[in-house]
Structure 1
Amino acid sequence: MKPQPITKTSKSFYKLPKTLSKYISIGIAIAVLNLSVSCSYFSVRDVPTTEENIAKQVDTFNTSEKYVIVHSGILFWHLRDMILNDDEQMISGTIEPVNEAHNYKKPRDKKRVHRYVNKKTNPLNEVHFYLKTAANFHDAETVNISLSDINRISVNDKNTGRTVANVLLTTVGAVFFVSAVYLALKSSCPFVYIKDGQEYQFVGELYPGAITPNLQRNDYLALPNFCPENEWYTLKVSNQLKEIQYTDQLQLISVNHPKNIEVLIDSKGAFQTFESINSPIKILDESDTQKLDLALKKDNNYYAFNSLKSTSNSIRSIIFEFDKPENAEEVKLYLTAKNSVWLDYVFGKFNEQFGAYYNTFQKKQQTVDKEQLSKWANGQNIPLSVYVKTKSGWELVERLNSVGPLAMRDLVVPIHLDSTTEEILQIKLETGFMFWEVDYVGVDFSENLNLSLTYINPVSALDQNENDVTHLLNNRDEKYFVQPNIGDEVTVSFPSTPSIDDLETTVFLKNRGYYNYLRDYKGIPDQQKLESFRDDGAFTIFSEKSYFEFVNFSLNNLAQNE
């Protein structure tokens, strides 16, 4: 693509035209849409069977007209017109070759997630019988198979998590790095889905950014529109990425509150209520341009911290101004935000610098002190830093930890105003180049209300093999439920709480754990280059430089913000 000319604006800095930015992101997204949107994913699941219930299981599949495939060693056939003889405990039918809609290039196994093209194949209608003894059936042969000769039965379940993630990552909203390279290097956290009727809806990620045991913290994920079914809340936690996930605790927090009130939990676990959210009256970035409309609605039209008026350390910031009531002592900042796909990509490119040494490096990181790890992340401006303008200058309020790149989160930051004197409240958000995306911003000066809270532990947690792992998720005890493979999942059920008239219920998922990447980088690490990342701001500068190299845009065109 031939780059469009850079448009010069006033105040001697340059701005990349929005049309160029959109064209690049749309172009890359479209390049992979054809590979992904038409594709879905399935996981292989064994059906629990015993000598007592196998006839019932077979009858269920027979009445639902499943496409039956019989396996004997490496051989397999389609069993057409299957009939169950309950008296003789046999199934019979006619042998045929498996047709094209049920043939796959890669072996069907339980340890991986399988992709299929919707219009060409139909794996979700299959049932597979694996025989104990060797058989060599012939086409058009009528066969009788004893139920006692069936070693195991398995079906293909739609892998909603992988499909949802794939679609999310291939929309224009995912911006620049929706590519095969990015998907191969994707690093995130366990995916969470809530049961909504017959479907599971993707809602977010657990314990984001906790890539070592020492970075574990209590994380609170709001579960919007999560309603009990038959007096049970049901959700799934799934590993869809190349990593090992260690979950220590899952617990629901049910909050009853007035219908005109919104409730969020801050990073310290305190409940904050919102009764009247005020919008900003003015917004400034490094270029002093106002983009007020981006903050007013949750519409995925966000601030991307990608201003082309560069700073010496590649940090970007946005200042929001609000009217402040007289004598106000506290305010609650409401943010809807997430990490960018770009941060996820560029962090993978950073890890790549370690080459074949990466796994050794990661092993050593598991025991590094939390303060040391946090100091490095803060020095690289990875968190979203929140500042308030006081009579003595900008004062740091909080650094918000990563929340993951796949779903926006509603976040709250309480701010004390005892050091502010102006009638206008100024709040600054600051982070590294394109590390965060902020969709909505507001403040609330109302007092917090008393709330009715119920903490609910899981009573059932079954993994993909129907193993009961409830005891591993009930308490914070470092006895982890481990998900080492792509496609591993656990279905967790919690009892619901009685509803209260005239009150609304909001549910949060308190979670705790960590995860490790699985990578197989090659080559010799560049020791000198890696040493440079010890310096504050080095990763932030690396992010900006890598981005503009990717879009073939010269850094010389950036005006420095002195």
Structure 2
Amino acid sequence: MITDKDDRVWVSNPFGRNPEDKPEVRDGLLLEFPRPAGTNAAKLCCNLQNTLWASYLQGQLLALHGRELPDWYALMNSSPAARAALFQAMVREGMLLVHVWNGQVWQEAGFFWEVGPSLAKDQVLWLDLSNIPGENLRVKLESTAGFWMINSVVIDYSPEAELIVTELLPEQARDHLGQDQREILTDNDGRYYVMPAVQDWAELVFVAPPLRKGQQRSVVLKSSGYYEIHVSAEGEPQRELVSRLMAEPGAYGQYTLRMLNQHVRTALSKVE
């Protein structure tokens, strides 16, 4: 199912799980690859996508701040410690964690950051195998149940290729109103092209150099920015719940399963 990029996708299934049973809160895949002798590094190449459920839950988590949501955003913008704590919790609960088997325990090897639910994306993680024994490489992919879809996974042991990297600035950058945004988008200087509505867009034009003889070309978009989820900042803040979800491993997964099970019960009650 996951050996090729095709229309077959492994989907983490959150249904029918007991949120009070911590092992059921997590889900993932155990993979094993043949390993050539003498290889001390590898590239784990995955075609990944997040579920709509995972995307929906981001808004639900923000809504727990209630009327204090603007204050929370201000804290994230001003406090490196608060941002670091949020980052740690996001990785632990929501990202696709990667572990490799070192012969005794599962060893942390990194993670894949969220890619969103709109389309699958190719992601690559470099693995250090210098202290990993064996003729086979065992890899575990794991996250909170219901968050990830995996189309394909392959391992690449080839050495790093010599690449010619050419960075290009946009020759043109016009938004949907015809306004020139090139000056704003040329430098990473803290100025942003702001798109407050989903209907907003900009078109960027780059002039590519001639393709070198005997070589192939890949195109990578290098960008920086951020987005805000549109959530109504109303109601009482659930400070204690938010603190526990951020601090306690697995608590967020339990929270999401309880919410899902309640949605299922409500839906079934309407058809009975």
- Whether 1:374 aligns to 2:90 is no
1:414-433 mapped onto 2 (5 Å cutoff): 414-433=126-145
- Output the amino acid matched with 1:469: Q
Matched ranges for 1:227-238 at <5 A: none
**TM-score, length basis structure 2:** 0.87
5 Å-filtered alignment, 1:107-506, equals 294-306=1-13, 312=22, 314-369=25-80, 370-379=83-92, 381-506=93-218
Which amino acid letter does the alignment assign opposite residue 435 of structure 1? F
1:140 aligns to what?
none
* Identical-pair percentage: 23
Query: Bigger relative contact order, structure 1 or 2, given CA contacts below 8 A and separation 6+?
Result: 2
Q: How much has 1:354 moved relative to structure 2?
A: 2.5
1:546 to 254, 259, 262: 259
In the alignment, structure 1 residue 529 sits paired with structure 2 residue 223: no
Q: Is the 8 Å Cα contact of residues 34 and 136 (structure 2) preserved in structure 1? A: yes
The answer to whether the 8 A contact 2:46-2:152 is kept is yes
Q: Which runs of 5+ in 1 are unaligned?
A: 1-293, 554-562
The Cα of 1:342 is off from its aligned counterpart by: 0.8
Describe the shift of the 1:546–1:368 C-alpha distance in structure 2 as closer, same or farther (beyond 3 A): same
More helix by share: 2
Give CA deviations for 1:106-159 in whole Å, capped at 9, x if unaligned: xxxxxxxxxxxxxxxxxxxxxxxxxxxxxxxxxxxxxxxxxxxxxxxxxxxxxx
The answer on whether the counterparts of 2:111 and 2:125 sit within 8 Å (CA) in structure 1 is no
CA offsets per residue over residues 58-111 of structure 1, 9 Å max, x none?
Answer: xxxxxxxxxxxxxxxxxxxxxxxxxxxxxxxxxxxxxxxxxxxxxxxxxxxxxx
8 Å CA contact 1:391, 1:419 repeated in 2: no
Task: State the 1:521 CA deviation.
Answer: 4.1
Choose the corresponding residue for 1:514, options 201, 205, 226.
226
List per-residue Cα deviations over 1:401-425 (Å, max 9, x = no partner).
1111111111111112222222221
Match of 1:107 in 2: none
Aligned residues of 1:359 and 1:519 also touching (Cα < 8 A): no
Letter in 2 for 1:338: Q
Q: Which has the higher strand share?
A: 1
Structure 1 residue 503: Cα displacement: 2.5
Change (3 A) 1:358 1:309: closer
- The alignment covers a number of residue pairs equal to 259
Q: Which moved more, 1:330-339 or 1:531-540?
A: 531-540
Distance in structure 2 (CA, Å) of the matches to 1:355 and 1:426:
44
2:22 touches 2:250 (CA, 8 Å); kept in 1?
no
Give the letter for the 2:22 counterpart: S
Offset from partner CA, 1:253-275 (integer Å, 9 cap, x none): xxxxxxxxxxxxxxxxxxxxxxx
Q: Determine the C-alpha separation between the residues in 2 that align with 1:477 and 1:395.
A: 38
RMSD between superposed Cα atoms in Å: 2.1
Deviations 1:336-394 (A, max 9, x none): 00211111112222222233332332333222324222122133x21111111113411
Check whether the contact 2:62–2:231 (CA below 8 A) recurs between aligned residues.
no
| Cα offsets for 1:27-86 (capped at 9, x unmatched) | xxxxxxxxxxxxxxxxxxxxxxxxxxxxxxxxxxxxxxxxxxxxxxxxxxxxxxxxxxxx
Q: Which runs of 5+ in 2 are unaligned?
A: 267-272
CA distance in 1, matches of 2:125, 2:106: 16
- State the SS of the aligned residue for 1:337: strand
Moved more, 410-419 or 352-361: 352-361
**What is the DSSP-based 3-state SS (H/G/I as helix, E as strand, rest coil) of the residue aligned with 2:11?**
coil
CA contact 2:98–2:142 (8 Å) conserved in 1: yes
